[in-house]
Structure 1
């Protein structure tokens, strides 16, 4: 059921430029949408919710769609803040460190870059995470 065509190509391109700029990352089709990984760990996944599918994402995001969503990893105070921030953020029931974000024309790409950098650093081996210049989250 993998289909990256459902995600707007401009969105995939912007995410690709962020994610593939980090050491040893690669992009692959996920069961739905596209994901970016460091070794065997996913640190970013983008997909489109349509007609309430995929159901787990539609329920977590509170939408039947169409909507493009990005999931990533977070921890500590950032995870706590994102968990209660409300739109565009949501917390899926799977994975204690997974956060979702609705993407649209008003998405803050500087913030997305910061969040994906932190997600990468959380999933990457320490020696690779140390190579990253981590921007301070606002």
Structure 2
């Protein structure tokens, strides 16, 4: 990785097509890592945290070594279920619908596609949300 927060290319190669298949989304560099937005609203953000640099993220995710994190929105009625399943999910305290997930070699990418689609649907205008069907299986 070339800079703090940079995400491994293999993770970006998995998250990018999930996000960019959704209507009118775009990708941009975030304050650290990469984020995907609908209009001006961020529905997905990936970053690699260094516990010495991004203390709040590392503390929220309960990681003590560098880790790749996915931040997304989740409907309030689903947050308890995600948290109840434990790792890799965690609840950052900077928003009532903000959720986090530690990405690892065992990540279920079909689940990620569903979570990111739901996150998008929470923030997208109704006209665009109506265009979204069920998530397509991720490639690779």
Superposition TM-score, scaled by structure 1 size = 0.90
- Partners of 2:4 and 2:93 in 1: CA distance: 23
Q: Which moved more, 1:90-99 or 1:74-83?
A: 74-83
Q: After superposition, where does 1:39-118 map in structure 2 within 5 Å?
A: 39-118=39-118
Which stretches of structure 1, 4 residues or longer, exceed 4 Å deviation after superposition?
none
Alpha-carbon deviation of 1:72? 0.3
Paired residues of 1:60 and 1:90 also in contact (CA < 8 A)? yes
Structure 1: where are the runs of 5+ without partners?
none
SS of the residue corresponding to residue 131 of structure 1 reads: coil
- Cα deviation for residue 5 of structure 1 reads 6.9
TM-superposed CA distance for 1:83, in Å, is 2.8
After superposing the two structures, state which structure 1 stretch, 81-90 or 116-125, moved more: 81-90
Identify which of structures 1 and 2 has the higher relative contact order when contacts are C-alpha pairs closer than 8 Å and 6+ apart. Answer: 2
Shift of 1:65: 2.1
Q: Does structure 2 conserve the Cα–Cα contact (< 8 Å) formed by 1:52 and 1:63? A: no
Pairwise CA distance, 1:79? 1.7
Q: Give the aligned length.
A: 133
> Which residue does 1:129 correspond to in 2?
129
Greater mean alpha carbon deviation, residues 9-18 or residues 30-39: 9-18
Once residues 129 and 123 of structure 2 are traced to their aligned partners in structure 1, the CA distance between those partners, rounded to angstroms, is 8
Please identify, of 79-88 and 13-22, the stretch whose mean Cα deviation from structure 2 is larger: 79-88
TM-score by length of 2: 0.89
Secondary structure class of the residue paired with 1:71: strand
Aligned-CA RMSD value: 1.5
- Alpha-carbon distance in structure 2 between the residues aligned to 1:6 and 1:105: 17
Alignment of 1:17-36 (within 5 A): 17-36=17-36
Q: Deviations over 1:79-136 (max 9, x none)?
A: 221133210000001011000000011100000000000000001001101110135x
